[in-house]
Structure 1
Amino acid sequence: MPSAASSEAPSEASTAPWDVHRLPRADGKTFLVTGGNAGIGYFVAEQLAGTGATVVLGSRDADKADAAATSIRSRVPDARVRHIRLDLADLASLKASAEALRSDRLDAVVHNAGVKFDQPDRRETGDGHEAMFGINHLGHFALTHWLAPLLAAAPEGRVVTTGSFAATSERLDLDDLESTRDYRPDRTYGRSKLAQMLFGFELDRRLRTGGSTVRSVVTHPGGALDSLTPPRPPLHAPTTGERLRGLPAGILVQGKEAAAWPAVRAVLDPSVTGGQLWAPRIFGLRGPPGSGPSAVIWRTRRSRPACGRRAAT
């Protein structure tokens, strides 16, 4: 697991030539995108569908998934896209979700789904876990377990975990992972993303140690605004005014179509290796995807125990 890293953006020199608009074919492969019915996940699914692969949308809302699949088919001739029910807040249901793939192998899963709450009240899943930590991290952690045999059956299975630079300023309190004592929405979200990213790196280390051909890759989508995102009605239909007001922000950030590029490259590019972080090249905020040293200093912290012992760092 990385212990420290530079604060530089991913290095352009570290990447092979890659055209985000001319993706390699992936006929015969199957990819699962969690939360593929909306936002960045939708564009990940749409772009992967254009390669000839079968794309499975993991969503708990069948109607939204059907609308997303219809949108993809309208833009990708002969798209192979379908839906499985996936509720990351319900850990006991995830085995059935994996079985619903009805496949003897899975070439990649993109752990994209996630929630971020701004309200001050702490929420819990039905399993009793803090909601952001439970859905963003624990749900994907458990899903990976159930998908492991299918990923191992693929020639080079990939687990692509969507992180966030919101994790940069956070530490994991190992005595309060679910923020029962110190709940602040932004901090708890950042911790959930840090947990995801640490999981992605540690998973790859363990896969390498075990001689597995499966690769675990972490991505960061950069800054993504709805106003800079191409319309996909009825899923996303910004007004002309909204799009015009968002144009100045395009200097620094991008829309969700471009924010999908790091995950798409992590799935498709044969030069991608496990343990990498892929993010937009321009300050980690916008532009084509590149890889390089992790842009986050990974830190864990134990809170001071009640008995007064010195906390481990």
Structure 2
Amino acid sequence: MSPASSSPPPPWDVRRPPRADGSVFLVTGGNTGIGYFVAEQLSSTGATVVLGSRSPAKAEAAMGSIRARVPDAQVRAVRLDLADLASLPSTVESLAVDRLDAVVHNAGVALDDPPRQETGDGHELMFGTNHLGHFALTRWLMPLLSAATAARVVTMGSFAAKSERLDLDDLQSRNEYRAKRTYGRSKLAQMYFGMELDRRLRATGSPVMSVVAHPGGALDSLTPSRPPVHVRTAGARLGAAPAALLVQGKDAGAWPAVRAVLDPAVRGGELWGPRVFGLRGEPRREPVWDHLAAPSAAARLWDASRELTGTSWECLG
């Protein structure tokens, strides 16, 4: 072995991610918030980045912002509505690619107050969009992911899920609905899915990996402006200054997911988040939360999700 080949890889630099020319990445909800910054940062690698968005106008604005900051960015959009399960196969077809190197499951709905709302399919809106939509989308993406050399499914969870526990007998929050708790549980369900997906992929010898990430504490008021996608006022910047000791902006909140997509050292079944108390700082691999490491709960959720979405996963069960 030559000295060069035995050299350790350079330290991870969040502002200089490695090149990924020729790769194709899909970012759900890539038109706003953390998803926008995931897309912007991935675009800087030379990859083709596809924004999945419900709003063509918002996707167009996001693409314009990315192109203004990333010379020669290869970015485009597809219409994606995770609350409409029947539309997902046609969304995948509209990608018009023969393989997909990674998908970042970032899109989501967060409601602050009652009343409880439902998708057109009759599922509680946050659980149905954040979890069930991504669960079904991944099934339809699997042929494209399997066609890549070593594709990755990166599921963006939430630090809010750390204090939540799933009620497997009331996944739709019919018995007792509290908006913030239901949101946290929907993100926990996503994270369970990411872990269970990797277990099933490993069991079949698939080259596809599933990784879970979370952004820590990411506030709009600490996020740099990207007009017209996001505009931070001077007042918001000054008012948020004390919070910067504990949390960060959404640009930094994107770092764990971007590293999960690009870093060759990342492995399936890992959890990535911010370095400082899981709330802010550069991305690092962190221990999988105890309640997230329960395979029996994840398997029950998988079976329930398969039934609720009407999807057959064939070899993955």
The reply to whether TM is greater than 0.5 is yes
Please state if 1:251 is matched with 2:242.
Answer: no
Which residue in the other structure is 1:208 paired with? 202
In 2: Cα distance, 1:253 partner to 1:127 partner:
36
Aligned length: 288
Which residue in the other structure is 2:58 paired with? 64
> TM-score, normalization: structure 1?
0.90
Please state if 1:155 is matched with 2:149.
Answer: yes
Structure 2 unaligned segments of length 5 or more: list them. Answer: 1-8, 301-317
In 2: Cα distance, 1:267 partner to 1:21 partner:
15
Please state if 1:28 is matched with 2:56.
Answer: no
Q: What amino acid maps onto 1:21 in structure 2?
A: R
Match of 1:278 among 258, 272, 276: 272
**Structure 1 segment 125-204 matched on structure 2, within 5 A:** 125-204=119-198
Q: Secondary structure at the match of 1:74?
A: helix
1:248 Cα offset (Å) = 1.0
- For the Cα contact (< 8 Å) 1:203–1:216, is it kept in 2? yes
Q: What amino acid maps onto 1:105 in structure 2?
A: R
In 2: Cα distance, 1:188 partner to 1:163 partner:
14
Please state if 1:80 is matched with 2:74.
Answer: yes
Identity level (%)? 71
Q: Please identify which structure carries the higher helix content.
A: 2
**Structure 1 segment 207-246 matched on structure 2, within 5 A:** 207-246=201-240
Q: Secondary structure at the match of 2:78?
A: strand
Structure 1 unaligned segments of length 5 or more: list them. Answer: 1-14, 303-313
In 1: Cα distance, 2:116 partner to 2:33 partner:
24
> TM-score, normalization: structure 2?
0.89
In 2: Cα distance, 1:24 partner to 1:234 partner:
28
Which residue in the other structure is 2:314 paired with? none
Match of 2:33 among 31, 34, 39: 39
In 2: Cα distance, 1:167 partner to 1:16 partner:
32
In 2: Cα distance, 1:256 partner to 1:174 partner:
31
- For the Cα contact (< 8 Å) 2:59–2:77, is it kept in 1? yes
Q: Secondary structure at the match of 1:168?
A: helix
Distance 1:17 1:289, change over 3 A: same
Which residue in the other structure is 2:263 paired with? 269
In 1: Cα distance, 2:24 partner to 2:149 partner:
12
Which residue in the other structure is 1:11 paired with? none
Offset from partner CA, 1:63-117 (integer Å, 9 cap, x none)? 0000000000000001000000000000000000111110000000000001110
Match of 2:106 among 89, 112, 119: 112
Q: What amino acid maps onto 1:169 in structure 2?
A: S
- For the Cα contact (< 8 Å) 2:215–2:256, is it kept in 1? yes
* Alignment root-mean-square deviation, CA: 1.5
Bigger RCO (CA 8 Å, 6+ sep): 1
Which residue in the other structure is 1:10 paired with? none
Match of 1:50 among 35, 40, 44: 44
Q: What amino acid maps onto 2:85 in structure 1?
A: L
Which residue in the other structure is 1:103 paired with? 97
1:195 Cα offset (Å) = 0.7
